[in-house]
A and B are shown apart, each in its own frame.
Chain A
Amino acid sequence: MSAPAITARPLGPTASRLARRHAWTVAVTAFFAVLLVWNASQTRNFGAFEIQTMLASTLALAYLAMAQSVVVIGGGIDLSVGALLVLANCLSARFMEHAGLGASLLVAVACLAVTAALGAFTGLIVTVSRIPAIIVTLATSFAWGGMALLVLHTPGGGAPAGFQALVLGSGNAWWPALLCLLAPLLLIWAPLRRSRAGIAVYALGSSDNAAYLSGVNPLRTRIVAYAFGGLLCGLAGLATTAFTGGGSPQSTIAMNATLNSVAAIVLGGVALSGGVGGLVGPVIAVWCLYLIPNIMLGLGVDPSYGEVVKGVVVVLVVLVGGLLRARRNRSA
């Protein structure tokens, strides 16, 4: 609802269309650049170590924001992303505890298969039952949270150090985390977005009736969107395992993660009404949300105010986006 309304205008020259389509991502990137420079100016010897810390600690939320984006672009919403993250986190932490690097990679693949299947199952229920997605995923969030408790009763488990270093890097090596983040973007999302199935996801999100009448299969499309979302949630869970070196089945973690993912996609230019946005904007938005408390700490303000600022920023972004859209609609 808040991103550039590309559909409202007749097709212009490609360049202006591209600029219009990516205006939001560019704006978020600029915002991020400002925050980064600000934070860098506060920190002495700002360098690879700080970048590594940022990438490693935001990796899970970045995956989660991507998961939420895919589902929202497809016209749904997923309140169970956090619970699915916790489930993948508990599964991997339990079975990786005494495993070597090779075995833990196998565990990781199995976790991804499970979460992708659960995501597909959610998509199936949403389509078949015709219950609003927000209710279905509210219900499944309880179910996935319960399963996580079943797997791991109390915080525990573990992950081999080799796996942690492989996913997040260590010390000054910031590129492993970045590579892990880019992998699903380049290997799955880039080809998917250009494929029939990916275009169908956007079409379904823009208008499910029009998409259906143009021959889009809603069932298959929703399953694709939610399954890819589930896969990304699984990746987020694995990243959490690597980052914390264990698993934790607490429902507050799931809830905060879900809420943060929604905030990130809104800031990242994905319209909650569906069909608009991409996956890069939300990732950059996650980095912005990470930098805000850091900068406040540098300014000597209690970083707990970071939550307040985050909330205000998200609300203001939606507000301004809405006002801009209203003005454009009036002038069009």
Chain B
Amino acid sequence: MSGVIVKDTDAAPERRLLARAAAADRSTLALIGVLLALVVANTVIDRSFLSLNQVRNTLLVTAPLALLAGGQTLCMLTGGIDLSVAMTATAAAYVTGVQSADGAAVAIVAGLLVGLVVGLVNGLAIGLFRVNPLIMTLGMSGILTGLLTVGSQSFLSGATRMSAFVLRLGGGTIVGPIPWNLVVWLALGSVLVVGLRRTGLGRMIYAVGDNRVACRLAGVRVWQVEAAVYVLCALLAAVAGILIGGRSGSVDLQLAGSYLLPSVAAAVIGGTSILGGVGGYTGTILGALILAVLDTMLNLLTVDEALKQILYGCIILVLAWVYARGTATAQ
């Protein structure tokens, strides 16, 4: 008797889960379709697109963007946003560059410490003191800009040449088309994917983004979840910054500035809702890849920078619109 009941109540959520998984798969499949179409189009335009060298270049560009977008995804899943990722990345890279004289390990740890501090300040202000995430991270971006501008002439002055290890990590190749930074990305990326699906914190991130009040009433320490998210985001940004710095060799204050909007765009294209609770890192990875391949395509076609930006905007809009329609019909 009780077995029947259990079976009955079990079947319904199972079916719902299956339906949800199917829906999630459909959007993932659609993204993969877009990506493949772009790759095919690129190959038609330029036969050498699938050559080892080109694949390597594409991956090299994608890895830092995907890491930044990963942090952005975490923030967006809780219903927030982090507009300080670009400056955090720049600051981390800058500190790493300055500390390079003391050896690669010290330099990297110093860079990551920058990320940790920035993330802690952001996270505590947003989680504990309930400052609006947009404003907090905007303010943090300004604070970091000011500190770096002053610091580059005083307490952070010195050679900003990356050490050999960081150069290798950011721009070197292991074998064939596989750059070193891909390894970093794969390691951190898989932690993110699994972490969001399987760990308590991962589920909590979705829950907080879905309904903050319900979470609080259910006894979740919401501020701890939010603090953790912004710390993780800043740490990912720091790693991305070090990789970007390693690729370009030397560091300046504009290093990662152009990555801010693409990091949000990659998460949005990947289907993460800015309202929180919906999305995931798999989509963001595809989003980042799509952006990178698209960028290559527009470069191959020697499209004017102006048209490139217009197209970029239109594509973000169209994809976001498709998602909005998709979720509207699903409900």
Contact = CB atoms under 8 A, between A and B. Distances in A.
Given A252-B257, A305-B150, A318 B132 contact: yes
A132 B81 CA distance: 13
Contacts of A319: 125, 129, 131
Contacts of A1: 132
B264 interface: yes
Contacts of B129: 319, 322-323
Given A1-B132, A139-B313, A139-B320, A259 B83 contact: yes
Interface in A137-160: 138-143, 145-150, 153
Contacts of A304: 146, 149-150
B317 A136 contact: yes
B214 interface: no
Given A140-B317, A149-B306, A130 B142 contact: no
A263 interface: yes
A277 B125 CA distance: 24
Given A139-B320, A140-B317, A146 B307 contact: yes
Contact of B316 (A135, A259, A263, A302): A135
A1 B135 CA distance: 12
A312 B321 contact: no
| Residue among A125, A135, A259, A319 having the largest count of chain B Cβ atoms under 10 Å | A135
A146 B143 contact: no
A165 to B, nearest CB: 32
Nearest to B151: A304
Given A135-B316, A142-B316, A266 B309 contact: no
A109 interface: no
B265 A143 contact: no
Interface in B121-143: 125, 129-132, 134-136, 138-143
Given A143-B314, A147-B306, A302-B150, A272 B138 contact: no
A308 B314 CA distance: 35
Nearest to B143: A311
B125 A129 contact: no
B102 interface: no
A146 B308 CA distance: 7
A218 to B, nearest CB: 16
Given A129-B324, A138-B316, A305 B146 contact: yes
A259 B313 contact: no
Interface string A103-130: 0000000000000000000000100011
Nearest to A140: B313
Contacts of A134: 81, 274
Given A129-B324, A136-B317, A149-B305, A263 B142 contact: yes
B328 A307 contact: no
Interface string A295-326: 00000001011111111101100110011001
B223 interface: no
B285 interface: no
Nearest to A293: B146
A296 B275 CA distance: 39
A140 B321 CA distance: 13
Name B's interface SS: helix
B317 A139 contact: yes
Contacts of B147: 308
Nearest to A151: B306
B135 A150 contact: no
A131 interface: yes
B139 A315 contact: yes
A125 B324 CA distance: 12
Nearest to A125: B317
B146 A311 contact: yes
Contacts of B142: 259, 263, 307-308, 310-311, 314
B310 interface: yes
A150 B328 CA distance: 36
B254 interface: yes
A132 B274 contact: yes
A262 interface: yes
Contacts of B135: 262-263, 266, 272, 314-315, 318
| Residue among B130, B146, B147 having the largest count of chain A Cβ atoms under 10 Å | B146
B147 to A, nearest CB: 6
Contacts of A140: 313, 317
Contact of B149 (A266, A307, A312): A307
A189 to B, nearest CB: 24
A131 B310 contact: no
Nearest to A302: B150
A136 B131 contact: no
A128 B135 CA distance: 27
A272 B132 contact: yes
A143 B258 CA distance: 15
Contacts of A125: 317
Interface of B: 81, 83, 125, 129-132, 134-136, 138-143, 145-147, 149-150, 153, 254, 257-258, 260-261, 264-265, 268, 273-275, 304-314, 316-317, 320-321, 324, 328
Interface of A: 1, 77, 125, 129-132, 134-136, 138-143, 145-150, 153, 251-252, 255, 259, 262-263, 266, 272, 302, 304-312, 314-315, 318-319, 322-323, 326
Given A132-B275, A307-B142, A322-B129, 9 more contacts: A125-B317, A139-B313, A251-B258, A259-B141, A304-B146, A307-B143, A308-B143, A309-B146, A310-B146
